[in-house]
Amino acid sequence: DIKGGVNYRLYKLLDDDDQRFDRRVIQRPFAEEFSRAEINHFVTFMHGYLEGYFETLKPRWQRWFFRTVQCEFIVYGFRHGRFFNRSYPTEASYRKALKKAEERQKLAPAQPEETKV
């Protein structure tokens, strides 16, 4: 996790001997190669693709789980046939949700293994 988000990093591939660009500096998009609008479209497409991929996993997933991103007060996982991702405004509300999730996990019956893909 990168604080609960996905970081899409795009790089221009350069030959080792290419001296046109300072490699220590993040360059602006090269409009003639991959413009800012094209980058935004690509990132939106990838995000949608990943959401769709996880939708296809739902029927195969059996076991509920949760994970946390403490520094962002996020709890995410899978429960009742759905993936979830919840962010809490305060540490107190996050801790309360975390305690509830831990209690549910202790009470959960043993689950069958996930269907192998």
Residues 113, 76: Cα–Cα separation, whole Å: 20
- Mean pLDDT of the 12-18 span: 86
Residue 14 has pLDDT above 90, yes or no: no
**74 lies in a domain?**
yes
Residue 117 has pLDDT above 50, yes or no: no
**Strands 74-79 and 82-87, sheet pairing:** antiparallel
Tally the residues of the chain: 117
Same domain for 56 and 70: no
**105 lies in a domain?**
yes
Kindly state the tokens that stand for 57.
Answer: 């996993």
pTM value? 0.56
Q: Which domain holds residue 69?
A: 62-109
Residue 36 has pLDDT above 80, yes or no: yes
